[in-house]
Amino acid sequence: MQLREGAGTAVAVVAVALLLAACESTPVDGRVGGASGDARLTERVDERTAVNVVALTAPLVFSSGRGSRGATEDLALGPVEINRQGERTYFLWMNLLSGEMRAAPPRLRLVGGGEVLFEVALVAPANSLPVSRPPYRRLANWALEAWYPVAPGDLARLQGRQGLVVEMAEGSNWVRFEPWDRRLAGLDAFISSQLRAQIATR
């Protein structure tokens, strides 16, 4: 892995400003509250494909404290529901801010209460996504972005989990990302609003 040109020493300074902007409550676009009326969610109709997109007003942000070369890496993660005429599909949107170039999106697993809840590895090709723009603000324009298809039942497992962290595969090891803010009420609101059926059958 090589350091991205121009990112080097500026990453630490630029990342703080970008992450603070990303964590603001103003959504990337759409109607705050959506059909649920919850201010932690946003809903919009994609102007190109006319699908309905539901997301949080801002993604959850996690920090590793160190990358494989010792530098801090930051990762934004947010759930997304895409509704195409009643057919709903779910994704975890990911944006990784790192001083390293990566050939492909990493494998991730979500851990809560010391238990691995689920793992995502397959990434939806960009040309297969029925949206014209990301559901969240990127941490930086050059930060690695990926959409991981996820089963609604797996997303439902995140509700109310204490100590939620993200782990990213690096070779045979897992790098641990801790949340910037342990208040995950927005994630719980998304699950309660968009995944009622899955919660009822758990």
Torsion-angle region of 172 (φ positive above 0: left; ψ -120 to 50: alpha; else: beta): alpha
Burial 156-178 (b: 16+ CB within 10 A, else e): bbbbebeebbbbbebeeebbebe
pLDDT (0 to 100) of residue 180: 86
Per run of 10 residues, the mean pLDDT along the chain (length 202 residues) is 43 40 46 68 93 94 72 90 94 92 90 94 89 94 94 92 91 91 82 75 54
Task: Give residue 122's pLDDT.
Answer: 92
pTM of the model: 0.79
What is the spatial distance between Cα 176 and Cα 156, in angstroms, rounded to a whole number? 22
80 Cβ neighbours under 8 A, 6+ residues apart = 53, 54, 55, 90, 91, 92, 93, 135, 147
Secondary element (H or E) of residue 155: helix 152-156
CA atoms of 11 and 150, how far apart (whole Å):
31
CA angle 13, 15, 19 (to 5 degrees): 135
* Cα 76 from Cα 60, distance rounded (Å): 6
Tokens standing for 172? 């045979």
